């Protein structure tokens, strides 16, 4: 760790986590100065003159209100920074999140970070994105898995439902990867009554992104890879890894490569006996990733695998 840190310093670069920690520290120091300023104001009975680093700006919090979406994906440093950016009071922070869709290692207790949500939260149970049939299948993937509520409690999806109706998702196993890729192409060809950009193929690895795109191209079906900033290119079937689909939605979607060893990742099995807590968290993260992917489709969902299916699938 020391060598890694020294190498970063020599190159004058920071990791994303270090940036978040530094930003949190800056805002917390500012909040501490504001607290002293306000205490002096009460003690003196008047407004003391205090400007921020000779800039001419008055000492005050950066915002009056903050709205946070995808709250489950923020780490402790992010929360410390946000808490320090706004004065504590009514409507200071409005948070929206779902721990069932947590795909990063950011398990936090908001109460311990000075953010009180206990007794102030509400559950949203109506889905507008996908059909009742797809949602039911996605909930079946989660099974009886329990999740935290970001405040040392537990949460579930009881009562979660949709007003939309549609066909049941299809599940199909293939003997080999080659056979699965052929099945994916055949499914896309059946769906070409709609715009290609309304169809997506979601896979667990970058290698499979390349393989799917190449196989589609062999059949004169344009493919558009989803990168860190979204789809790259014009009209075509969108292809990407499961992480790339967070926040996106499509009319029809294929989940391919939902194979044991890929979903969940085979390497996490090493922790099953040596580090059970880490094993559970890694497995739950992969389960959440599959749940997120399965709920990106509005009208139709097809799930494919080759060899042994993922243990997450209800087959």
Segment 107-156, tens digit of pLDDT: 888 888 888 887 788 888 888 778 888 878 877 776 656 666 666 666 66
**pLDDT for res 105:** 72
Confidence of residue 215 (pLDDT cuts 50, 70, 90): very high
Q: In degrees rounded to 5, what are phi and psi of residue 93? A: -130, 130
The pairing of strands 230-231 and 223-227 is antiparallel
Q: What is the mean pLDDT of residues 82-96?
A: 92
From CA 54, how far away is CA 74, in angstroms rounded? 33
Q: In degrees rounded to 5, what are phi and psi of residue 224? A: -120, 120
Using one digit for the tens of pLDDT, what is the confidence trace for 276-300? 999 988 998 898 889 889 888 999 9
Cα of 116 vs its chain's centroid, Å:
23
Q: Is the pLDDT of residue 309 over 70?
A: yes
From CA 66, how far away is CA 86, in angstroms rounded? 7
Residue with tokens 């979903």: 263
From CA 154, how far away is CA 99, in angstroms rounded? 10
């Amino acid at each position: 760790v020391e060598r890694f840190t020294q190498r970063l310093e020599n190159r004058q670069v920071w990791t994303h986590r270090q940036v978040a920690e530094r930003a949190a520290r800056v805002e917390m120091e500012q909040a501490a100065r504001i607290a002293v300023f306000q205490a002096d104001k009460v003690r003196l009975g008047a407004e003391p003159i205090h400007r921020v680093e000779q800039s001419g700006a008055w000492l005050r919090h950066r915002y009056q209100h903050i709205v946070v979406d995808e709250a489950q994906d923020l780490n402790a440093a992010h929360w410390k920074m946000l808490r320090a950016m706004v004065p504590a009071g009514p409507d200071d922070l409005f948070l929206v999140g779902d721990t069932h869709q947590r795909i990063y290692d950011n398990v936090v207790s908001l109460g311990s970070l000075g953010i009180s949500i206990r007794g102030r939260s509400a559950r949203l149970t109506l889905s507008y994105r996908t059909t009742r049939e797809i949602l039911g299948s996605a909930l079946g993937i989660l099974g009886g898995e329990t999740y935290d509520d970001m405040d040392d409690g537990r949460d579930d999806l009881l009562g979660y439902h949709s007003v939309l109706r549609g066909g049941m998702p299809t599940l199909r196993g293939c003997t080999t990867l080659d056979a699965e890729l052929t099945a994916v192409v055949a499914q896309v060809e059946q769906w070409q009554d709609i715009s290609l950009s309304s169809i997506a193929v979601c896979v667990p690895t970058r290698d499979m992104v390349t393989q799917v795109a190449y196989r589609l191209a062999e059949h004169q079906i344009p493919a558009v890879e989803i990168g860190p900033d979204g789809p790259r290119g014009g009209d075509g079937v969108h292809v990407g890894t499961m992480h790339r689909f967070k926040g996106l939605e499509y009319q029809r979607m294929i989940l391919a490569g939902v194979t044991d060893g890929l979903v969940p990742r085979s390497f996490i099995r090493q922790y099953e006996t040596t580090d059970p807590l880490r094993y559970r968290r890694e497995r739950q993260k992969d389960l959440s990733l599959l749940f997120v992917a399965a709920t990106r489709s509005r009208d139709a969902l097809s799930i494919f695998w080759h060899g042994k299916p993922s243990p997450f699938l209800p087959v």
